[in-house]
Structure 1
Amino acid sequence: MNKLLVITVLVALLALSAESFRVPRQAEEEQGTLTKITDSVRSYYDYVVNSASEYIESIKGLKLEEKAKNLYSDTTTAVSTYSGILHDQMYHIFYQ
């Protein structure tokens, strides 16, 4: 008898829960065309913004900015060395 009562209560709760899930679906059907278009554009915009944010975070994770700074400093050091050598050579060619 107790099992039957428990099962009846659970089925009743499930039925009430299922009924509450139907309410939002009916509300969605009553939306106008402009609201549907606005919602779809807004969801697409949110998706694009989230994708861009994830992409930027993944780039920051690679530490590309630090690598670019190191590459720049190494390149400027090498170029300044070779330009100094070239400057000395040109000076000695013109002013012996």
Structure 2
Amino acid sequence: MTRRRVVVSGDVQGVFFRDTCRRIATERRVTGWVRNLPDGSVEAVFEGTAERVEELVAWAHGGPPTAMVDKVEVYSEEPEGLAGFEIRPTPWSD
């Protein structure tokens, strides 16, 4: 089991990034979540086999056809054993 957290910057909100991410993750049996961030970026967590998680990380570098990804930050984290894949609400910035 592997876990990666990605923060994707660029023109990535309002282009179906989260919905497409959820669909692809579900198809590949990767668990986790995705959400918009207040600064205009998108954050996602992927958990699953190393091969499938890395497929999602690679996908995040391009996103859906309407996205324009400028930068992807990738962080390795300890898996939490998440179930399913969800779109989470945007956290409020203080």
Structure with bigger strand share is 2
Higher radius of gyration, 1 or 2? 1
With a CA cutoff of 8 Å and minimum separation of 6, indicate the structure with the bigger relative contact order. Answer: 2
Structure with bigger helix share is 1
What is the TM-score when the length of structure 1 is the normalising length?
0.20
